[in-house]
Amino acid sequence: MGIIAGKTVIITGASSGIGEATAIRLAESGAAVALAARRTDRLDTLVAAIESRGGKAMAVATDVTRRADLDALVTHAVARFGTVDVLVNNAGIMPLSRLDLLDVDGWDRTIDTNIKGVLYAIAAVLPGMKAQRSGHIISISSVAGHRINGGSAVYAATKHAVRVISEALRQEVTADGIRTTIISPGATQTELFDKLTDPAAQRRLASAAEIALPADTVARAIAYAIGEPAEVDINEILIRPQAQES
Protein backbone atom coordinates (compact mmCIF):
# COMPACT_ATOMS: atom_id res chain seq x y z
CA MET A 1 0.00 0.00 0.00
CA GLY A 2 2.22 2.76 -1.27
CA ILE A 3 -0.32 5.45 -0.43
CA ILE A 4 -0.02 4.56 3.27
CA ALA A 5 3.78 4.61 3.20
CA GLY A 6 5.21 7.89 4.46
CA LYS A 7 2.07 9.04 6.26
CA THR A 8 2.04 9.91 9.96
CA VAL A 9 -0.92 8.33 11.76
CA ILE A 10 -2.10 9.06 15.30
CA ILE A 11 -3.99 6.15 16.88
CA THR A 12 -5.82 6.60 20.19
CA GLY A 13 -6.61 3.57 22.32
CA ALA A 14 -3.54 1.92 20.79
CA SER A 15 -2.56 -0.31 23.71
CA SER A 16 -4.81 -3.25 22.75
CA GLY A 17 -7.47 -4.58 20.38
CA ILE A 18 -8.29 -2.62 17.25
CA GLY A 19 -5.81 0.14 18.04
CA GLU A 20 -2.91 -2.25 18.51
CA ALA A 21 -3.77 -4.24 15.38
CA THR A 22 -4.08 -1.04 13.36
CA ALA A 23 -0.71 0.21 14.58
CA ILE A 24 0.98 -3.01 13.51
CA ARG A 25 -0.71 -3.13 10.10
CA LEU A 26 -0.08 0.52 9.22
CA ALA A 27 3.53 0.44 10.41
CA GLU A 28 4.12 -2.65 8.26
CA SER A 29 2.70 -0.66 5.34
CA GLY A 30 5.23 2.13 5.86
CA ALA A 31 3.37 4.62 8.03
CA ALA A 32 4.91 6.30 11.06
CA VAL A 33 2.54 5.71 13.97
CA ALA A 34 2.07 7.85 17.07
CA LEU A 35 0.43 5.61 19.64
CA ALA A 36 -1.75 7.03 22.40
CA ALA A 37 -3.21 5.37 25.48
CA ARG A 38 -3.03 5.51 29.25
CA ARG A 39 -1.15 2.21 29.63
CA THR A 40 2.33 3.30 28.66
CA ASP A 41 3.88 -0.07 29.45
CA ARG A 42 1.73 -1.66 26.75
CA LEU A 43 2.55 1.15 24.34
CA ASP A 44 6.29 0.83 24.95
CA THR A 45 6.13 -2.90 24.24
CA LEU A 46 4.22 -2.25 21.01
CA VAL A 47 6.66 0.46 19.89
CA ALA A 48 9.58 -1.90 20.51
CA ALA A 49 7.89 -4.64 18.47
CA ILE A 50 7.22 -2.28 15.56
CA GLU A 51 10.74 -0.85 15.60
CA SER A 52 12.27 -4.34 15.73
CA ARG A 53 10.63 -4.96 12.35
CA GLY A 54 11.99 -1.74 10.88
CA GLY A 55 8.89 0.38 11.47
CA LYS A 56 8.57 3.89 12.87
CA ALA A 57 6.58 4.38 16.06
CA MET A 58 6.37 6.50 19.18
CA ALA A 59 4.31 6.29 22.37
CA VAL A 60 2.61 9.18 24.12
CA ALA A 61 0.76 8.74 27.42
CA THR A 62 -2.72 10.06 26.68
CA ASP A 63 -6.05 10.24 28.46
CA VAL A 64 -8.55 11.23 25.78
CA THR A 65 -10.86 12.75 28.39
CA ARG A 66 -8.21 15.47 28.91
CA ARG A 67 -8.04 17.96 26.07
CA ALA A 68 -4.50 19.02 27.02
CA ASP A 69 -3.32 15.43 26.52
CA LEU A 70 -4.60 15.40 22.94
CA ASP A 71 -2.96 18.73 22.18
CA ALA A 72 0.32 17.41 23.59
CA LEU A 73 -0.03 14.21 21.55
CA VAL A 74 -0.24 16.16 18.30
CA THR A 75 2.66 18.41 19.31
CA HIS A 76 4.86 15.37 20.02
CA ALA A 77 3.85 13.64 16.78
CA VAL A 78 4.65 16.70 14.68
CA ALA A 79 7.96 17.22 16.48
CA ARG A 80 8.99 13.61 15.81
CA PHE A 81 7.53 12.93 12.36
CA GLY A 82 6.92 16.39 10.88
CA THR A 83 3.20 16.25 10.27
CA VAL A 84 -0.05 14.48 11.13
CA ASP A 85 -1.76 12.98 8.08
CA VAL A 86 -4.30 10.63 9.68
CA LEU A 87 -6.12 10.43 13.01
CA VAL A 88 -7.66 7.11 14.04
CA ASN A 89 -10.14 7.98 16.79
CA ASN A 90 -10.27 4.54 18.38
CA ALA A 91 -10.29 5.00 22.17
CA GLY A 92 -13.58 3.92 23.71
CA ILE A 93 -15.24 2.12 26.60
CA MET A 94 -18.37 -0.05 26.83
CA PRO A 95 -19.76 -0.31 30.40
CA LEU A 96 -23.15 -1.72 29.39
CA SER A 97 -26.05 -1.79 31.83
CA ARG A 98 -29.80 -1.14 32.01
CA LEU A 99 -30.75 2.47 32.63
CA ASP A 100 -32.72 1.55 35.76
CA LEU A 101 -29.49 0.35 37.39
CA LEU A 102 -28.52 4.05 37.49
CA ASP A 103 -24.83 3.64 36.70
CA VAL A 104 -24.52 7.40 36.41
CA ASP A 105 -20.75 7.33 36.91
CA GLY A 106 -20.50 4.83 34.07
CA TRP A 107 -22.63 7.08 31.87
CA ASP A 108 -20.32 10.00 32.56
CA ARG A 109 -17.19 7.97 31.78
CA THR A 110 -18.71 6.67 28.55
CA ILE A 111 -19.73 10.12 27.36
CA ASP A 112 -16.40 11.65 28.35
CA THR A 113 -14.40 8.97 26.53
CA ASN A 114 -16.56 8.09 23.54
CA ILE A 115 -17.85 11.56 22.61
CA LYS A 116 -15.71 14.22 24.22
CA GLY A 117 -12.55 12.22 23.58
CA VAL A 118 -13.41 12.05 19.87
CA LEU A 119 -14.11 15.78 19.76
CA TYR A 120 -10.92 16.66 21.64
CA ALA A 121 -8.85 14.61 19.20
CA ILE A 122 -10.54 16.27 16.23
CA ALA A 123 -9.88 19.69 17.77
CA ALA A 124 -6.21 18.81 18.20
CA VAL A 125 -5.55 17.71 14.60
CA LEU A 126 -7.95 19.88 12.60
CA PRO A 127 -6.03 23.18 12.52
CA GLY A 128 -2.92 21.49 11.16
CA MET A 129 -4.85 19.49 8.59
CA LYS A 130 -6.66 22.59 7.39
CA ALA A 131 -3.37 24.47 7.13
CA GLN A 132 -1.79 21.71 5.03
CA ARG A 133 -5.07 21.24 3.11
CA SER A 134 -4.99 17.49 3.53
CA GLY A 135 -5.71 14.89 6.16
CA HIS A 136 -7.92 11.99 7.11
CA ILE A 137 -9.97 11.62 10.29
CA ILE A 138 -11.19 8.08 10.98
CA SER A 139 -13.53 7.49 13.89
CA ILE A 140 -14.51 4.10 15.27
CA SER A 141 -18.24 3.81 15.87
CA SER A 142 -20.04 0.47 16.26
CA VAL A 143 -22.93 -1.58 14.98
CA ALA A 144 -24.49 -0.26 18.20
CA GLY A 145 -24.46 3.15 16.53
CA HIS A 146 -26.87 1.74 13.95
CA ARG A 147 -28.99 -0.64 16.03
CA ILE A 148 -30.14 -0.16 19.62
CA ASN A 149 -30.66 -2.96 22.14
CA GLY A 150 -31.87 -2.76 25.72
CA GLY A 151 -29.01 -2.49 28.16
CA SER A 152 -26.83 -0.49 25.78
CA ALA A 153 -28.62 2.86 25.67
CA VAL A 154 -25.74 5.13 26.67
CA TYR A 155 -23.06 3.24 24.76
CA ALA A 156 -25.24 3.12 21.64
CA ALA A 157 -26.01 6.84 22.00
CA THR A 158 -22.30 7.67 22.10
CA LYS A 159 -21.55 5.54 19.07
CA HIS A 160 -24.43 7.14 17.16
CA ALA A 161 -22.97 10.49 18.18
CA VAL A 162 -19.63 9.48 16.64
CA ARG A 163 -21.41 8.90 13.33
CA VAL A 164 -23.23 12.23 13.55
CA ILE A 165 -20.03 14.11 14.38
CA SER A 166 -18.11 12.45 11.55
CA GLU A 167 -20.78 13.11 8.94
CA ALA A 168 -21.09 16.76 9.95
CA LEU A 169 -17.31 17.06 9.88
CA ARG A 170 -17.23 15.57 6.38
CA GLN A 171 -19.57 18.25 5.10
CA GLU A 172 -17.56 21.00 6.79
CA VAL A 173 -14.04 20.02 5.67
CA THR A 174 -14.49 18.60 2.18
CA ALA A 175 -13.33 21.90 0.67
CA ASP A 176 -10.16 21.72 2.79
CA GLY A 177 -9.05 18.44 1.20
CA ILE A 178 -9.73 16.46 4.39
CA ARG A 179 -11.31 13.00 4.25
CA THR A 180 -13.48 11.42 6.93
CA THR A 181 -14.34 7.79 7.57
CA ILE A 182 -16.65 6.06 10.05
CA ILE A 183 -15.80 2.44 10.85
CA SER A 184 -18.64 0.57 12.58
CA PRO A 185 -17.50 -2.87 13.73
CA GLY A 186 -19.78 -5.59 14.99
CA ALA A 187 -18.50 -8.11 17.53
CA THR A 188 -14.72 -7.85 17.58
CA GLN A 189 -12.08 -9.48 19.76
CA THR A 190 -11.20 -6.64 22.12
CA GLU A 191 -10.88 -6.08 25.86
CA LEU A 192 -14.29 -4.38 25.91
CA PHE A 193 -15.93 -7.76 26.52
CA ASP A 194 -13.56 -8.48 29.41
CA LYS A 195 -14.38 -5.22 31.18
CA LEU A 196 -18.14 -5.68 31.41
CA THR A 197 -19.25 -5.60 35.05
CA ASP A 198 -23.02 -6.07 34.69
CA PRO A 199 -23.80 -9.84 34.81
CA ALA A 200 -26.83 -9.44 32.52
CA ALA A 201 -24.69 -7.71 29.89
CA GLN A 202 -22.05 -10.41 30.23
CA ARG A 203 -24.63 -13.12 29.57
CA ARG A 204 -26.20 -11.21 26.70
CA LEU A 205 -22.90 -10.74 24.90
CA ALA A 206 -21.40 -14.16 25.58
CA SER A 207 -22.52 -15.48 22.20
CA ALA A 208 -21.19 -12.38 20.45
CA ALA A 209 -17.78 -12.94 21.98
CA GLU A 210 -17.74 -16.47 20.55
CA ILE A 211 -18.09 -15.25 16.96
CA ALA A 212 -16.11 -12.02 17.30
CA LEU A 213 -13.88 -10.90 14.45
CA PRO A 214 -10.12 -10.68 14.95
CA ALA A 215 -9.08 -7.09 15.59
CA ASP A 216 -6.93 -7.18 12.45
CA THR A 217 -10.09 -7.53 10.36
CA VAL A 218 -11.07 -4.02 11.43
CA ALA A 219 -7.48 -2.84 10.98
CA ARG A 220 -7.63 -4.00 7.35
CA ALA A 221 -10.76 -1.90 6.82
CA ILE A 222 -8.97 1.13 8.28
CA ALA A 223 -5.96 0.52 6.04
CA TYR A 224 -8.26 0.21 3.02
CA ALA A 225 -9.84 3.60 3.72
CA ILE A 226 -6.44 5.26 4.18
CA GLY A 227 -4.93 3.56 1.15
CA GLU A 228 -7.42 4.83 -1.40
CA PRO A 229 -6.29 7.78 -3.57
CA ALA A 230 -6.76 11.27 -2.12
CA GLU A 231 -9.74 11.95 -4.40
CA VAL A 232 -11.60 8.92 -2.96
CA ASP A 233 -13.35 9.42 0.37
CA ILE A 234 -14.53 6.18 2.00
CA ASN A 235 -17.14 7.69 4.29
CA GLU A 236 -18.49 4.67 6.16
CA ILE A 237 -17.80 0.96 6.60
CA LEU A 238 -20.04 -1.35 8.64
CA ILE A 239 -18.39 -4.70 9.27
CA ARG A 240 -19.86 -7.70 11.15
CA PRO A 241 -19.06 -11.34 11.65
CA GLN A 242 -21.07 -13.25 9.05
CA ALA A 243 -22.84 -15.12 11.88
CA GLN A 244 -23.90 -11.94 13.73
CA GLU A 245 -27.63 -11.38 13.29
CA SER A 246 -27.95 -7.92 14.82
Q: Which domains does the chain have, with CATH numbers?
A: 8-236 (3.40.50.720)
Of the candidates 81, 107, 120, 155, the residue annotated as catalytic is: 155
Residue 39, classed as helix, strand or coil, is coil
224 catalytic? Reply is no
CB proximity list for 226: less than 8 A, separation 6 or greater:
1, 3, 4, 7, 9, 26, 31, 86, 136, 138
Q: How confident is the model at residue 196 (pLDDT cuts 50, 70, 90)?
A: low
List pLDDT tens digits, range 112-164. Answer: 999 999 999 999 999 999 999 999 999 999 998 998 888 889 999 999 999 99
Residue among 136, 44, 123 nearest 83 (CA): 136
Distance CA 105, CA 145 (A): 21
Task: Name the burial class of residue 105, with classes exposed (0-12), middle (13-18) and buried (19+) by CB atoms within 10 angstroms of its CB.
Answer: exposed
Strands (E), 176-246: 178-185, 236-239
Between residues 5 and 196, which one has the greater pLDDT?
5
Tell me which range, 43-47, 194-198, 213-217, is most confidently predicted by mean pLDDT: 43-47
**Residues whose CB is less than 8 angstroms from the CB of residue 122 and which lie 6 or more positions away in sequence, other chains included:** 87, 89, 137, 165, 169
Q: What is the pTM of this model?
A: 0.91
